[in-house]
Structure 1
Amino acid sequence: MDRDLISRLAHADHPVAAPLGDESVTRLLARGLPRLDARILDLGCGGGEWLLRALELRPQARGEGVDLSAVALEHARREAERRGLADRLTVHHLDAAEFTGPPADLVLCVGSTHAFGGLLPALAAARKLLAPGGRVIVGDGYWEQEPSAEAVELLGDLADLPTTVDMVTADGWVPVYGHLSTRHELDDYEWNWSGSLAERAPDQLATATEHRDEWLRGYRHCFGFLTLVLTPVARR
């Protein structure tokens, strides 16, 4: 089965493709959307859930999403129609790293920094697309504890929490709010990922089982997820 379709099925019961609960998403969006008529851009939008929730939160706002997955973008279009938001949402089938467009009041990149090669390259791309006075919401993983070699192989070369925040601030950003995913949010995401895929695609049971085993045995003990609301340091 196509990897994009596997991802779509795995997120059927957890449409936010990151380990965050509904209240956390709403709180982060509220802090990132000071303007009622904001222009919102999601780099690596997937199924568009962050954008759709932002548009529901700000009825005068307009959203734009960029993603390489045609399957995910079609889901975003259908959901926008179903929720009565289609006239305020535009999606682009494009590599997020190649996107150019008018400045946005809020740039989102949660769980999709890999599209740019990591956290700091993702922030560099967001900076280029950010309107004056705008904010960025970025979400990425970090190590809560010393990782095993298997965890590093699965998830890449992450840093611990203080180092991650130091990297962001040294890059010229001010965190105005942040959220550390709770144990419940992390576990809820993973149970939904493997369970939703196994339930909706029985032929992918081996894939679901492999993912669950990688989580339980490989990185559950050491992986954390940080979401930050950022503004760029004012230049003098």
Structure 2
Amino acid sequence: MSPLSLGFDAKRSLLCLVAAAAVVMAGCASTSSPAPQKNSGFLTETYYDKLASVQAPEDQVVYRFIAPGFDKSAYHHAIITPVTVFPKPQPTEQISMEMMLTLQGKLTRLIEDAMASAIPITNTSAPGVLRVEMAITGISISNEDLAPYEYLPFALVAAGVNSAAGGRDQEVKLFLETKLTDSVSGDVLAVGVREISGEDLENVKEKLQAQHLNQGLEDAGKDMARAIKEMFQ
């Protein structure tokens, strides 16, 4: 996997977007911008700092880190933990809890299929078994012509803070974070952060549906399967 032309500023912008959306998902929305954060907190600070950009589908941005001591020959099965939302989400006018649950189900099946293409799946922790955990750590909806650092978290948009936007299209971004650990020791083997673009919403009143992200999820599934196969080749 060769690096993309994305430097520190690009990584910082992505992590800041994840953090801003995560703050709102935790129910901290207000009429002012969320307090600055470097990341969502799903991964530890050490691993956010080690993330590096990798090749990804055109509509996505991916950062990944694989532990230097990772020995693929030491692992023969994987446990897939159902996808969660981190931090705990609060439904809004545009983002329903039903939609979030649908997304969690889709993503769980996606990572199961991607992992199973390279290594058998099990439900039991044991030596030689790794654990895969993925979380939705942010959803951003913004005017499509805004710069990345101007994205507004979805709850602020839904509340009408961006009233000047009128009927302009709203760009959808989904943020995912993943970690692979040893199921016995808990040692971190690999981590990743992924930004997925969805279909634009017509305006701030249109509700986000899981199908708005179908193409992005399909592309992500193929990319994950490719990356996992590379890890275990």
Q: Same fold (TM over 0.5)?
A: no
Instruction: State TM-score, norm by structure 1.
Output: 0.27
Q: Which protein has the bigger helix share?
A: 1
Instruction: State TM-score, norm by structure 2.
Output: 0.28
